[in-house]
Chains A and B, each alone.
Chain A
Amino acid sequence: MKYLYFIWKNLGRKKMRTLLTILSIAIAFLLFGLLRTLGTAFELGAELSGEDRLATIHKISLIQPLPYSHVTKIQNVNGVESVTHASWFGGYYQDPKNQFAQFAVEGEKYLSIYSDLMSLPPEQLEAWKKNRIGAVVGRATANRFGWKVGDRVPIISTIFPQKNGSYTWEFVIEGIYDVKDARADSTAFLFHYDYYDEAKSFDNGSVGWIIVKVANPDESPRIAAEIDGLFANSFAETKTSSEKEFAASFAKQFGDIGLITTYILGAVFFTMLLVAGNTMAQSVRERIPELAILKTLGFSDVAVLNMVLAESLLISCIGGALGLGFAWLITSGMSEQVAAFLPGFVMGLSVAILGVVLMILLGLLTGILPALQGMRLSIVNALGRR
């Protein structure tokens, strides 16, 4: 620590060079922060899904509906705590570009199964239960369209006409739910299954997918197998998996976003390693006579090694902290605006921790060769080089 001032002074020797190196490292970490946050936003579904929830879908495809009778049958499977279901509505508000997720659900039950993620004020829940055409919407979507409690909103379904032939369904916003984890999705629009099922003109008595809450997560594999066994060889065979697997497999449908961002970041960091390493090597080369004088004054080899390493660490950490900080500012500034399109665009702790680890690694890697060079200096040769 006592050398800190000395190291700091060394950084100021060529201010422009130090500044440029720090800036390029900052950019690398800014990219790291942004891209990792983007990558995790896609993987978030899996991370936030409950251990005790299973998802049952039609074996042929997620879009095939299941008969309602499946719900009651699953209720009787040993170890199942509660069962609910949801159906995709595929609607938009005013313009086909304004798409968001709407689900027809059993309101209270759905919210109670997802109580670890969603919260709705009790008085709004009561009001919702009383209004047949009532709906509850997530904060992000409410903000996106400027909806308030009490608003009447027409939603146009791209799939389901009502019995009167109209594709426009009227809803009243009775509540706005918040999410308990900033990264969770607050875009969904929930409305009563009863209203939906009675009013739509086809596919009545069917549900989109079934959500099963199990009493003991350790029993999930057995319960999943039992559920699928119930409907084997029926006209609507099922595929049941833990919500985590389901979310992970759905995220994979987009392709390996994580892998792509890793490739890009790999290229970025490799470049930065070379740029910063090269700068470090050069600044040590220029200082060889000085280092020799330090040694003549009695500084040990290890002290010289440490000093050079500390310098590169300092550069890397200043740049890294700048970049990550900037990334944090950007993501937290943007997360509300993009929440309606890309929920979970929030920089998590894991990103920050990985960032700090990378900073230290980058600092050590760029400094190690010049540091070793400094350590191995022979005083006589180095002084004579001038």
Chain B
Amino acid sequence: MTSRLPRAATVPAPATLPPSDLPGLDPAFSRLIDVHESDGVIGGAQDGAPRTWHVLDNGPRLAQLGVTPVGTILCVHGNPTWSYLWRSLVSQATDAALDGKPAWRVIAVDQLDMGFSERTGVARPLARRVRDLDDFTTAIGLDGPVVTLGHDWGGVVSMGWAVNHPDLLSGVMMLNTAIHQPESSPIPAPLRLALGPGILGRATVATPAFLETTLALAHPPLASDVKNAYRAPYRTAERRGGIGGFVADIPVDAAHESTPELDRIASELTRLTVPTLMLWGPRDPIFGDRYLDDLVDRMPHADVHRFEGAGHLIAEDVDYASSVLTWLADQAGLESLEALASLESFDAAAEHPEVGVAPGLLLGDAAPARNRLWHYLDELRDSDETALIEMVPAQGAGPRVVSWKLLSKRVNQIAAGLNRIGVKKGDRVSLLIQPGADLTAVLYACLRLGAIVVIADAGLGLRGLTRAVRGAWPDHVIGQLPGLVAARALGWPGQKISTVRYPASTGAALGLSHALADIVELGVDQALPEEPAATDVAAVLFTSGSTGPAKGVVYTHDQLSAIVEALSGQYGVGVGTGLVAGFAPFALLGPALGARSVTPDMNVTSPKTLTASAVAAAVAAVEATVVFLSPAAVANVVATSAALTDLDRSALAGVQDFLSAGAPVSEPLLTAIAALMPNASAHTPYGMTEGLLMTDITLEGIREAALAVDADGPGGVCVGLPTATTRVRISALNASAEATGELSTEPGITGEIVVSAPHLKDHYDRLWRTDRASRIGAIAGERWHRTGDVGHFDAAGRLWVEGRLPHVIAAPTGVVTPVGLELSFEKIPTVSRAAAVGIGPAGTQAIVAIIETQPPARRVSLASPELAASVRASVSQPVAAVIVLPHLPTDIRHNSKIDRTKLSLWAARILGGGRMVRP
């Protein structure tokens, strides 16, 4: 070993079998295999020293079962773990074969000097290690197809093997690893520390510090018997030479012995076209998102899943093995699907007449005749008409009026300027700018350039935003002060650009590279690069995070254009329409619609701050005929309507269409706001970040639907009919509340709402598993999305939303959706708001009513006998318990969605005999 390591690292020792009682590891999978070390030429002579490897291998077991494997998964652990890391994959793959599923042979090696393999006593730099693995697979006569799987530095070694064996290779899989260290950034701090002078030997070999530090990285912490299993081969300094050797082999700079081999693998990797899977734990102090982003750049075709909350020991933190096997099965399925599709694409369509839709709809995606998003910016580039108004701009007094001419010029200048400072097509640009003229200009500049905009609502909160921004790993950040400060403080990635110019000291403190004004100057009279293709990715929009960590939703240019088309088709918004843009996602689309849009005076991170007077002023400013608001804003507008002047009221009387998007609005609230806009048709559409406009209903429609409700109560909220280009289907629930039914339009069946439209999302960003789950049951070749909402159609084809799928109560009497129950509870005079949740195992859940009373309760308790009796009498299903509390917790962004999942866990604790604390 290198001289930087203690003598202990040079002591040879033979390979042994692991102890037979390690948790989760069947000793029958362990084998010792003799391999002759080659001279270094691939396929060359193997006349070197014999080396004994310890490996886990389910091959003999499969042979015993008489099963022929479909291929081999070759697993390589990193430092300082051993093949124990892959125990669950070996077991699960074997179990799957036993169940008659495709059988994968899994071979997980202990690299030489590691685990229970031989201690060779000589240094094994990266090139040697890659050759070692070559020698091993040659010795055992490994035949294709092979899919590699590596973790940590085992990822590098496995990728080295992969690029050397294109003939055998049919796929590449990796858990947290890295293939390239950007020169601009230092290697991760923990490794820097371990490499310090006088530290290396002590940290890695003489003491188990490096091992123990790694074992402490699991989330949740490892059980002590599992920790002991990882420690088993590394009990003494003599056993730990390999750990030190690996750390010493990290190519810290260009002069390092292993740099050429690492560079070779990194560059050859970009030529691999085989299916690739990257599973990542972002809570990794070593191989963070930076390295994932680098790998994605090299292998853009990869399926990527980031497991939020998991870290470096992702193999211990999550069930990676089922992901691996599912993905492999999908790859095999894709091959056969493709083969099928080419043979019988026409027949297949004929066999499924029930999915027949208007001709042209299916082709809609393939034949984009839609306007580009900057269509009107080009068409109206000489117009002095108003494009947008900001009632209260970030700087200076308002309102700020921007003409089409100015907006068009500014967008082109920013696009060209950004291009000059290196922002290019496909780069990700995170926009941390409040809605208004600046955001609009920067947004359209990025879109025109082909850069991918990353937009996360500040309503996510700092933690949610940080998670979102790190997950999307932008190349550039354009922002205002609060966002930039957070970006600096929390170490968000990307080149930082501010919307306003700051003194040099501030700029330096914030790590700013440019101000927007600089960009504009750079872009004056500069030619623009070629337009991006309609199929290129345009945006990553983050969900609200009300249903788990916020997810990045990817849209292509054409899909965004389709949103514009859907909006204009549904509400008649077009050139010259005055539009009050109080709902962020639609607000940004004003220029693409050709509309004259106005941002009212409000704090966008808190829609509750919008007042009736502010809406009226905005309406007056652009003579608006269309008003878009968020539901929380609607409530406050109604609450502050007393302040409206006669002038305000006459301005509001000019509104023809009013729209509240984001969450369903109750009929009374809609009635109240409609009274403020007496000539407007009030709409409340149904949609989500993944599909912004799926159905629509007017106030009149809601009233009409209410008449059709039978004695059992409405059972949900009516959201109306699908919009012109949207298809909505229901996937019925089984007794355990899983949506397993075929897609159907049959009325009266409750199930998961599944949607398809040209303006639907393309996919989730770096969430392969989530994306896969959202498409299950989709008609082959079409883009469908499982919304996670449950509902049903009525006889008139109207959709009724009954709540979220995870909130459905799987009671022994059948599945019950919460919204219907809650609406019944809320009819009781003393009940102001209610939540219905299920507790206990699916299929036999008990229904619990959680009640916010009027006047509010002072503390949590069981309901009075009278209230409990009223609640039970209001529904036909049995209610096990009625709990009252002072305040029902809601999703912070929408201030309207009740977090029933959290409430259910809370209720289960209380009704299990736990303490009466607030949720």
The answer to whether A binds B is: no
Name B residues whose Cβ lies closer than 8 Å to a Cβ of A: none
Name A residues whose Cβ lies closer than 8 Å to a Cβ of B: none
